[in-house]
Chains A and B, each alone.
Chain A
């Protein structure tokens, strides 16, 4: 009973108000466009046919509880009983919504998906109820299309209410990151502009050195603000053998670097392929967090880690890249995206979208894989694309896995 919307409430709101504190106008965070998840995109477009029938408002609760005996309650994101004035304009003619209040007030009842009961059975059932049997009025059953899944934001609920059927936004998001997680993660990003710039710098450096393609990755520890790794693509680096490793992508290398920091110098992350450690040289002109160790580990892997105990400063959280932030010049390929998931990173922001090879974006015009947030996978992270200023966009090898 408690969940039933009261048919008499006059100015009921269709959704909960968000208590979001908006970003300041000139915040660089406005440049970060949140990626929608695969499910969110699906939820935004899928509709389902449902039965609706006008009923006398005074018998609304009786009809509702009687119906519960024959059809399951579903579609909790939609108003069960709607006053004529809240019926969306697009349905007013179709539903023959009375323009002037009739003598006896009516409500439009959203019955159930058309797959739950036949129209004939529903009509017979309703006709037996006192609401109809006393007057002999034949129930006017109609079919309308409504969104099949719940709205993911208050804005979407408002849109749906105006277009399909009054919708309820219940705080939360079953198809993607909860709005409060998004805003927390966004505010927790450590100078994304600077770190994305650094990712681009290492990308440029990789390309100009001839060691790799122009892709770059930076990994930052949000607890300390420290850059743990910055790596360019290195798939063309030949060494003495005369060939490179086609899997030495920027993100993979950056993940290796973080592990090598943690592992110390006594062991190698990749016994057959030496892993360098970020030496901080791109930060010379930046107001970098004044961490002494950015210079110290130039030659050995992690000389300083042993001294200041940095390698283990995260304790329980030091598992893989748990909740670290990753900044990438380009949208990563399937391998790198899954590597970020395996490493349990917390947030990812990338510059250029890779429509043919990128595995994070779920929107049309790309591979639509949305690997950053898929229900089947046991780790998820929040993901943004940095909106480049005109001319700032990095040229990309669009057919290549970044």
Chain B
């Protein structure tokens, strides 16, 4: 997790939302990734997907079933689904993501059939192959980095239609984190 935090710091220095991750297989880091949405102009280049791309240049997808992810912020709904689709074994994350989290923050994409919301309303059918998640590891370090970033301000984002103010909130996550 400390490696992931270091990578998050490097993202911060490149004006990216400071989220970093490492994928660990047999106690070895096989890939790292950091958020890359601002540079790439692509809203899907989250740390997890960047690292998955790297892994697949060297290893077949089957490696994921023996691979664990360490990521500084709870994977978003998109990444949580991606991790499920590649068949990740376990996910360890730092702070939770109550705006976009797909591992309990907003939805629980990782468990059951992946359709549950936070209040446990379970609907729909189908789906197999969830994964275990463990949150809250070095959580405050991850949050501090996000705060630093939002002091810098993400100037590229257009004003969303239903945005509430841009002040920093004191709870778990800063506002306007839409690139986690």
Contacts and interface: CB of A to CB of B under 8 A. Distances in A.
Contacts of A247: 49, 52, 82, 85-86
Give the one of A242, A269, A334 with max B CB within 10 A. A334
A63 interface: no
A334 B81 contact: yes
A379 B126 contact: no
B40 interface: yes
Given A369-B124, A378-B162, A338 B81 contact: yes
B43 interface: yes
A246 B106 CA distance: 24
A259 B162 contact: no
B127 A269 contact: no
A334 B53 contact: no
Contacts of B44: 252, 255-256, 339, 342-343
Contacts of A243: 56, 60-61
Interface string B19-35: 00000000000000000
Interface string B114-141: 1100000001111100000000000000
Contacts of A269: 40-42, 45
30 contacts: A241-B60, A246-B61, A247-B49, A252-B44, A255-B43, A259-B43, A267-B40, A270-B45, A270-B50, A271-B53, A272-B56, A272-B57, A273-B53, A319-B158, A320-B37, A321-B43, A322-B158, A335-B81, A339-B43, A342-B43, A344-B43, A369-B107, A371-B77, A377-B106, A378-B99, A378-B160, A379-B178, A380-B161, A399-B126, A401-B85
B57 A342 contact: no
Nearest to A261: B41
A181 to B, nearest CB: 10
Give the one of A258, A320, A380 with max B CB within 10 A. A320
A225 B99 CA distance: 33
A60 to B, nearest CB: 38
Nearest to A371: B77
Interface in A345-402: 356-357, 359, 366-369, 371, 376-380, 399, 401
Instruction: Give the interface residue-count category, chain B.
Output: 35 or more
Interface of A: 241-247, 252, 255-256, 258-259, 262-263, 267, 269-273, 316-322, 333-335, 338-339, 342-344, 356-357, 359, 366-369, 371, 376-380, 399, 401
B156 interface: yes
**Chain B binding surface, main DSSP class:** loop
A222 to B, nearest CB: 16
Given A246-B61, A270-B45, A335-B85, A367 B113 contact: yes
A149 B85 CA distance: 37
Give the one of B40, B43, B61, B115 with max A CB within 10 A. B43
A399 B129 CA distance: 13
A191 B25 CA distance: 48
Given A334-B114, A335-B81, A319 B156 contact: yes
